[in-house]
Amino acid sequence: MRLSLLPANSGRTGLCGFAALWLAGLFLQQSPAEAHIKQVRRISIINELGPASPATALINGQIRARLELSPYPVELCSEFLETTLFPDPARQKEFREWVPYKYRDRKPEVIITVGSSPTRFLTQSHEKFFAQTPVVFCINREEWAGPPQLDAFFTGVVESLRRWGLDESDLPPGSTVQFRELSLRERGKTIWISVLVTILSLAALAVYLQYSRSQLRVARDAQLQLSGLLINAQEKERSRLAAELHDDFSQRVALLVYGLGDAVDHLRASPDAVREKLEALLESTKELGDDLHTVSHRLHSSTLESLGLVEGLAALCQEFTTRQGIEIEFSSAEIPSGVHPDAALCLFRITQEGLQNLKKHSGVAKAQVKLGQLGDGLCLSVSDDGRGFDARAMAQKGGLGIHSMEGRARLVGGSFEIHSELGKGTRIEAWVPWRPKN
């Protein structure tokens, strides 16, 4: 059987239509005796593009539809080179080796090639692997480099695509346009709409973030204001209690000490037991007076107001050493006298609280308090080499003393940190500006 090469100028619909009609005619023109046998006709389609390509789906679909007219059962197989996705020559070589191996025992009776690459593959391997097998090709003239070297078993169409320039408005009513490319204006319109939606979304997000930030700032300011009111109220109450203890209780205790001393002088002729009892009572009364003085000093230190921050902290450390038996080494580095009262009071109270915690939990006999300048503010540290604790767990649990120290520092625009590890001691650090904000 000798087939011929037929050039054409139609589109891909014409290509697949020609191939399908040729095959249908081939099967329909068999002799009646052969038609009665109903032999299965094996046909293989080798496509250049993948199954997801619209052109591949269209051509294969029309071929299948035409072959349904055949009175014979048709076994149709499709292969895909997918040269656009896999242009690697090594991959193409594997495909060329695999196709003959796949059909070695079930050679097709007709091979259809769609595209230049599968057609070129068949021209190179036809005589070796598919001798005597008719080949129907569909190729694009622009894709075919030079005239094809085909033998008598090849036939098909070589087409040139063309645009007809039809205006969509000239089509009959009810017409459907498929695979239409968007115009530059339509593509630009889509891009501008996407850009506008993106800008509006980002603007809405920015407004929401700004609103959230403002709400957070209001909540933070309210918290600082509340903390300031609480601390100010606490300081006023401490001042009131200090004045009351000093003006009332201290005078009453002094009168009691004087009275007991006078009683001891008048009872010198009394028995020794009475004398010893009165002397013990006198000593207890003196201790009570000292304790009241210490409480008054802790509630409101007049030393801080009269002498300043450095002398006030030095006196506090000396008094703590005398009364608690824990040596406190205090040092300062050229601190000017014009420290703002709020900053001075903040550091003084933090030192008081830090020393009390040190007495309760550290178990040491010696500690350090240091005051220095750092940037545009003052830095205070209270450190020891005692038991220490888990700072992360304490941060989650949060004692009242730690919250009080941290709240005081933040209230004046400063910062507060506490560093500690089990068995490695504790260090409290606070920083406050020279001129705290109101």
Residue boundaries of the structural domains of the chain: 12-163
Length of the chain as a residue count: 438
Identify the three-state secondary structure at position 290. Answer: helix
Q: What CA–CA distance (Å, rounded) separates 382 from 317?
A: 11
Structure tokens at 221: 């300011």
> Residue written as tokens 């009691």?
256
Q: Whole-model pTM? A: 0.40
Residues 6+ apart with CB under 8 A from 351: 313, 316, 317, 369, 380, 382
Whether 387 and 365 have beta carbons less than 8 Å apart is answered as no
Structure tokens at 107: 């050679």
Structure tokens at 281: 């009572």
Whether 111 and 134 have beta carbons less than 8 Å apart is answered as yes
Structure tokens at 325: 């038996």
The C-alpha angle 402, 385, 406, rounded to 5 degrees, equals: 15
* Local confidence pLDDT in tens for the 438 residues of the chain: 333 333 333 344 445 555 555 554 555 455 555 545 567 888 999 988 888 888 888 888 888 888 888 788 888 888 888 888 888 787 778 888 888 888 888 888 899 988 888 888 888 888 888 888 899 888 877 666 655 567 788 888 777 675 666 777 777 888 887 766 667 777 778 788 888 999 999 999 999 999 888 888 887 876 777 677 677 767 776 777 777 666 666 676 777 777 777 666 666 656 666 667 677 777 777 777 666 666 666 555 566 777 788 888 998 899 889 888 899 999 998 887 778 888 888 899 899 889 988 888 888 889 999 999 888 899 999 999 888 888 777 656 556 678 788 888 888 889 999 998 888 889 999 999 987 765
3-state secondary structure labels for all residues of 42-88: EEEEEECCCCCCHHHHHHHHHHHHHHCCCCCCEEEEEEECCCCCCCC
Whether 260 and 281 have beta carbons less than 8 Å apart is answered as yes
Pairing between strand 74-80 and 41-47? parallel
Pairing between strand 366-374 and 377-384? antiparallel
Q: Which one is the CATH code of 12-163: 3.40.50.620, 3.40.50.2300, 3.40.30.10, 3.40.190.150?
A: 3.40.50.2300
